[in-house]
Amino acid sequence: WVFRNWGSGCPMVLRWVQIYGFFYVLCFHFLRPLVAFITKRIPEHYRTNTWAAVAFSTSQMIGLSMALFHYPNLVLESGTGLQWAWLE
């Protein structure tokens, strides 16, 4: 009854949001062994706070650039603009 349609205003009712949550949980659990594997093979001089900041900033820039062309997501939100579905 948690994700049942009780109205039109609650974002938890939107079923397409669940696939995003599932994807994040899946990546969190199954990418950790890969990250641990790769971390052991990175040279010691790259395992510093500066490189961590560079990696974080790069990740933020990738997310920002994705958000610039991804939203508003007409394919998922209204079902229009299916010619751009390959970008989603």
The SS3 assignment for 35 reads: helix
Answer yes or no: are the C-beta atoms of 6 and 14 closer than 8 Å.
Answer: no
Name the band, by pLDDT with cuts 50, 70 and 90, for residue 53.
very high
Answer whether residue 46 shows pLDDT above 70: yes
Do 72 and 84 touch, CB atoms closer than 8 A?
no
Q: How distant, in Å, are the alpha carbons of 10, 65, 77, 88 from that of 16?
A: 13, 22, 9, 13
Say how far apart CA 8 and CA 13 lie, in whole Å.
8
Please tell me whether the overall predicted TM-score, pTM, comes out greater than 0.75 for this model: no
Residue 65 contacts by C-beta under 8 Å, 6 or more apart in sequence?
none
